[in-house]
Structure formats: C-alpha cells, structure tokens
Amino acid sequence: MWIEFSEINYKLLFFLIYPMFRRVQDYTNCLYIKDDNILFKTFRYFLSFFFSGIFLLIFKYKTEWEPKQIISDKKNIKQEEKEEIEITNYSNNLNQIEIIQKSIEKKRKIISALYLFFLCTIGLFSYYGRYYFSDFLVPEYKYLNHSLRTFFELIIYSALSYLLIKQKLYKHHIISFLFITLMLSIIFAISIPHLRNILYPSIFFLLSESVFALFDVMAKRYMNVCYKNHYFIMFFIGVIITPLLLFYDMIVYFLKPSVSGIIIGFDENIKGIVDVLKFILDLIVEYLWNLGIWLLIFYYTPCHFFVSEYASQFIYFIIKAYKEEGEFYYKPINCIMISICYIIIFFFCLIFNEVLILNFCGLDYNTRKRISEREKTEYNDIKDNGIVIRESVITEESDEDV
C-alpha cells in the first residue's frame, strides 16, 4: 500500500479529545457565564487541573506510570546506580552507599521541583498573556488564527523539540512542512483583505506560540528526565498556581477592586446551587480538553498536538461559516478554498507526526515504525548467526574429540 497507519490502537482516540471537548466548552461557558474576565478564566483553567488528583490516586495503586521507553531509560540509570554501589561495596563502606543513594534522591527532588516551578511560571504567563493581549487583536486574531498562528506553531514546536528532546527531522517532515506552508499561504492570502494590521498579530503569534511550545516541550522533557506522568504534573501545577491566584485576588480585591477578577467572577456568575453545578460541569469539560493535549504529549510528542489543534480549528471554521459570522466565513469561494486547504493540511499533519506513513520515494524509511522493524530484523539476524556459529563450534569440538 502507498499509505498506511503507523499504528492502530485505542491511543488514536486521544487525537479526538481536545477538538471535541474544546468546542463543547464554548457551550458550557454560556450556561452560567454572564460577565467573564481574564483572571477568572485563568483561575478556572488551572483549577480544572485538580481533577488529575483523582486519576493520580487510581493509577498510584492499580497501574504503572511509566511508558516502556521511559522504563527502559530508568533501568539504564538504575544500572549506573548499581555500578556505583558495587564500587562502594568493593571498599566495604556501607555508610558511603547510603550517602550516594541520598545524594541521588536529593538531586532528583531538586530537579523535579525546578521543573515544576518553571512549568508553573511559563504556564501561568502563557495562558494569562494570551487572553490579555488577544483582546487588542480582534478581528486580526481570529483571521490569522487559521494561517499565521499555525505556521509559527509548526516551526517553533519542531525547533524546540529538536533542541530540548532530541526529536530529529527527516525527509517526510520536510515534505509535510512544505505542503502545509503552501496551504497556509493560500489561507493567508484569502485573509489579507479582511486585515487592518498584520505586524502586531504577527508579533503576538510569534511570542505566544513560543511560550506555549516551550511549556509543552519542557513538560515532555520533565516526563523523560524525572519519570513523572501527565496526571502528576497537571495536578501539582494546579495545586501550586490556583492558591497563588486566589491569594493575589483576595489582596487586590480589598486594596484595588478594579484589578480583581476571581472574586468578582464568582460574584457575577455564580448565583445559586444550579450555577455551582454548571461551574463544575464547565471545569470538567475544560479539564478533558486539556487532558487530551497532555495525553498526546505523554504517549507521543508535543508536535502531535498539531493534529488535534488543526482539527479543532477546522471545526471552529465550519461553525463560523454555518452561522455566517462575517464575509470571511460565509463567502462561498472562501469556504471552498479554505476547506480544501484544511483537509490537505490535516493530512500532512498526520504524515508529519507519522500517524500515517507514505510508502514511496523513501518517505517511510526514517519513520519510527520502519526503524523499529529494521532493529527487529537486525536482532533476529544476529540471533540466527549466533546460533549457527555456536552449532559450528560444537560440531568442530565433537570432531576433534573423535
């Protein structure tokens, strides 16, 4: 076949979680939100991370946390620790063994704490900053969201993944990037007549996507280095950021109420037990679409988020076109051209992330599936050759005995 799936299992469903629940939240927000503000949005975002605590408790006792590749890396590190311990045992100094073990454990805790602090800082800045600055970019933000944002997202995520988690780029990545860029250029050209300013939105998308990419890639690096799963990271980010936001808001509410947001948000939008239930439902939906992103990062790579993100953008475009919100969305030629571009972009996003594999022109050679197949073949060849060599040696020894 010219095209095939890299894998077919339940994990492919993870790509649907973000786009589905991200659009659902547009409706759960409307159930109780009457007067929203940036600080209240940010507070709800990180408060939703508390739901990871439930999964954390479940998986703590019933399942293993680390994926196979992380377990393999962990075994290598444990082997190094054993070698250090063996060296220490050679000197018959048991106290030294305990010192080494405590030192290693202390370093791991310090590294873990530093990663969490960094992720909390970047996460808070990225989410709050996006809402704060995007208010000044309407309508440019929503128009360029379909083209320029994706272009920066693709470049920055790929670059940071290469630098921080050693994710290499091969022929199928380059080809995919060229086709995606071509389609984004067409969408950008269609958007130009509807733009008043391009410079400020361009700077905004460059900076915002850089921060979001840094957050996601560093989260993946944290998973690899400290062997922490997505539930652990999400829960503790929520535990750290949410109380800080609430504490800040309580202070400014009494000193300068106009700068406050969380208390005012509750006062304006939560009027009774029904609104409380709607608020909890909205938090659950917000948590689920965030979980969709973290599942992709944990089981795959940060770049796999492209697939879900662009599916979400396509759904958003279809909804806007259906509601006929502005000429950009309901003009027939725009709908047809942009829809075709979206489909092509989505297809090459799947190729870029090796969800689909193209079996021609050598585009499949450096995919993870083909590399794994070659490793298995080489292993079997070495194993078979070893058996043949051993049999020949045994035969020669038998002949000498005779």
Q: Is the dihedral of CA 88, 92, 98, 99 positive or negative?
A: negative
- At residue 7, the pLDDT reads 81
Query: What is the H or E stretch that residue 3 is in?
Result: strand 3-5
Residue 169 in domain: yes
Q: And the tokens for 221? A: 């690096």
Instruction: Supply the DSSP symbol for 362.
Output: T
Residue 352 lies in a domain: no
Distance CA 49, CA 46 (A): 5
> CA 171, 355, 209 angle in degrees (round to 5)?
75
The answer to whether residues 48 and 284 touch, using CB atoms and an 8 Å cutoff, is yes
Domain residue limits at 161:
16-308
Per-residue pLDDT tens over the stretch 196-223 = 778 888 888 888 899 999 999 999 999 9
- Exposure string of 311-331, with b = 16+ CB inside 10 Å and e = fewer, is bbbbebbbebbeeeeeebbee
Mean pLDDT, to the nearest integer, of 233-253?
A: 93
Q: Is the pLDDT of residue 155 over 70?
A: yes
pLDDT at residue 21, rounded to an integer: 93
pLDDT score of 93: 56
Cβ contact 370:362 at 8 Å: no
CA-based R_g, the chain, Å: 26
**Residue 367 is assigned to a structural domain of this protein:** no
The rounded mean pLDDT for the chain is 83
Reported as a single tens digit per residue, the pLDDT across 51-78 is 999 988 887 776 554 444 444 444 554 5
**Any domain includes 276:** yes
Residue 376 lies in a domain: no
Phi/psi of residue 66, nearest 5 degrees: -90, 140
Residue 39 lies in a domain: yes
Residue 71: predicted pLDDT? 46
The whole-angstrom separation of Cα 214 and Cα 160 is: 7
What's the pLDDT tens digit per position in 260-316?
A: 889 999 989 998 999 999 999 999 999 999 999 999 999 999 999 989 988 888 888
Q: Work out the average pLDDT over 231-240.
A: 94
Measured distance CA(351)–CA(155) in Å, rounded = 16
Q: Express the helix, strand and coil content of the chain in percent, nearest 5 each.
A: 80, 0, 15
Answer whether residue 69 is part of any domain.
yes
Q: How many domains does the chain have?
A: 1
The phi, psi pair for 170, rounded to 5°, reads -125, -170
Share of the chain above pLDDT 90, in %: 41
Q: DSSP per residue over 105-118, as a string?
A: HHHHHHHHHHHHHH
Q: Are 343 and 176 in contact (CB under 8 A)?
A: no
In a domain, 373, yes or no: no
Q: What pLDDT does residue 90 have?
A: 46
